[in-house]
Amino acid sequence: MNPYQKKFRLTASLVTCLSLVGCANSQFETSAPPPGNPAASTSDGFCTATQSAITVNVGDTFAEDEWVRDFYSGEKARVANGKVTLSPAPEADGLLLLEAADAPRQNFNWAGATVYFAVTDRFANGRTDNDQSYGRQPDGKDEIGTFHGGDFAGLTEKLDYLEELGVNAIWITPPFEQIHGWVGGGDRGDFQHYAYHGYYAQDFTRPDANFGTRNEFRTLVEEAHARDIRVVMDVVMNHPGYATLQDMQTFGFGGLRDGFEKHLPERWGSWQPESWEDFHAYHALIDYDHPDWVNWWGKDWVRAGIGDYDTPPNASIDPVRGSLAFLPDFKTGSDKVVDLPAFLRNKENTLAEQLDNATVRDYLITWLTDWVREFGVDGFRVDTAKHVEPEAWQALKTEAQKALESYRSNNPGQPLPAEDFWMVAEVFPHTVSHSSYFDAGFDAVINFDLQEEARAGASCLPAMEPIYRDYAEKMGGEKPFNVMSYISSHDTQLFSRIVDNNPAMQKRVASALLFTPGTSQIFYGDESGRRFGPTGSDGHQGTRSDMNWTDIESGEAEPVVSHWRKLGQFRARHPAIGAGEHRRLSADPYVFSRIHGNDRVVIAFGKE
């Protein structure tokens, strides 16, 4: 079987992964709401919140005669016999958020952080003149896998919105220059899939023109820091992007099958399949044995199974050396000194330079940490962490910390919240448990359990008690650690779809998420009921629909957004909510405290 036949057969069977962000998550279920989901109905397990006065046992969290304030309503009460009585605000859905009446905002703690994850291209379009960079075009149909126009300028314009939401860190998808062309999307090849998500890097040293300029990225980071918002940048060391027809033409690597150039238009990226073909059919034009594949990354850099490149093993057998969804696999474990890849040596606008005595890992770490050194990025969310050697992550963390210190030294006038560089790992299907990743430079891992667990809490908050207790006990145990939990993600489901766009459930799940011990991650639009979008034959594409600014600006989403805003601001004031010791003080009404040093809160929920 020649490389093309092998490539095409495998592509046909597993091409769903071609359109997965990061391609680490082929294990995930589709984004369809599960049948018979109890959280999708207000009639099954949904408790009615009280608006009557609640007598709250505050235990020893607040002293006798101390004045406490409900942050939601602003009402105050004095502790008497270890209790206070207050009425929840009408819009609070039975919640009291109690703090000392004179409590100041506490210092930031990553374990109590609220991280807002925005897919840059789908969040906000600040400039329309960069929407079709590198000749990229809309498909004129559902625009499932095309670039939609979101950029750094749009993110910057929305920082005030995020600050009001209580967000103190923003996680953005990789900003690097992506492959210019497209691959076939979905298992049917029914749409053109561009690298709008940022996980198919081509040049790690430059921002993608669709996302904006270096100065616009600098402005984004500086304006975020001015609002005490940290910037966490998504990074990939496992793989670069695919080879596409347009990139083959632009950069002069690879080759076509003999006589097949006549089947291509002047601009190769404009090729369209015939009526009987799908978008995977372009593979038939490419000669994967052509000697000019040496002009791409080169066999010393990646395993790709084409030309004279090494063939990677199956990732399920060898997760570190294997190929994810047939993406070229970086040789991050090799100790061989390598030259700059041929296509980058000939690329006019790259900042990539030949490094002395450098391995593949050395180049990648240099390129990634240069973003920290130049712009003051505060942290990395690491894609596909289990598919790279632990030693590589530890080296990345060490160099990123040095780069952050260099930025601080060179920019003494710039506000910079972070002193210690932060790294969080995507390791599917990691739970709330201590693992070897905390010994490999990571400060946290993503927790994949809460999305399912939060359904019950969205129906009735007391259902979260065993989950909160379990999380807090594990993370505060003999070996303390931190996780970042979510209710929606780009590779699983949208919570809004899980609950069939029920506004009451979308409002209530704010409590379930934002009161969870550890770092909480909001996926853009969790707070506003963003709806599932066009998805084609890839069930994950719909999770990355455009941010629903119209619903927010018209006021339609305001009841839900304002509730998230209030809870988010309370969490931002009190990192103890995520980082503190959890104690249940009462079952009915449901009352618990969180205490971390001098930071102390009591949260109560009353139901009829």
Q: Report the alpha-carbon distance of residue 510 to residue 307 in Å, rounded.
A: 52
Q: How far apart are the first and last CA of the chain?
A: 69
The active-site residue out of 329, 426, 443, 551 is 426
b/e per residue, 490-508, with b = 16+ CB within 10 A? bbbbbbbbbbeebebbbbb
* Greatest alpha-carbon span in the chain: 89
Do 275 and 164 touch, CB atoms closer than 8 A? no
> 377 with 371: CB under 8 angstroms?
yes
CA dihedral 114, 115, 116, 118 (to 10 degrees): 180
- Work out whether strand 76-78 and strand 67-70 pair parallel, antiparallel, or are unpaired: antiparallel
What is the distance between the alpha carbons of residues 512 and 261, in angstroms, rounded to a whole number?
57
* Spatial separation of the C-alpha atoms in residues 518 and 387, rounded to whole Å: 25
Q: Is 139 a catalytic residue?
A: no
426 catalytic? Reply is: yes
CA dihedral 132, 138, 143, 144 (to 10 degrees): -70
Q: What are phi and psi of 269, to 5 degrees?
A: -70, -10
| Spatial separation of the C-alpha atoms in residues 563 and 3, rounded to whole Å | 55
Dist CA 6 CA 283 (whole Å) = 11
**Token pair for 32:** 């369809």
Residues 289 and 311: their CA atoms lie apart, in Å, by 13
- How many angstroms separate the Cα of 8 from the Cα of each of 11, 157, 185, 289? 5, 43, 14, 14
Catalytic one among 151, 234, 374, 383? Answer: 383
Q: What DSSP string runs through 527-558?
A: TTTPPP---TT-TTGGGGPPP-HHHHHHTTTH
Alpha helices in 85-149 (DSSP H): 120-123
DSSP string, 435-464: -GGGGTT-SEEEESSHHHHHHHHHH-GGGG
Cβ neighbour number for residue 272 with a 10 Å cutoff? 12
Q: Work out whether the CA dihedral 327, 386, 175, 450 comes out positive or negative.
A: positive
Residue 152 φ/ψ region, left for φ over 0, alpha for ψ in the -120 to 50 degree band, beta for the rest: alpha
Integer angstrom CA distances of residue 602 from 60, 174, 456: 10, 38, 21
How far is residue 244 from each of residues 23, 241, 260, 270, 331, measured CA to CA in Å?
A: 17, 9, 15, 11, 21
Q: Which residue has the tokens 């927790």?
A: 447
Q: Give the residue numbers marked as catalytic.
A: 383, 426
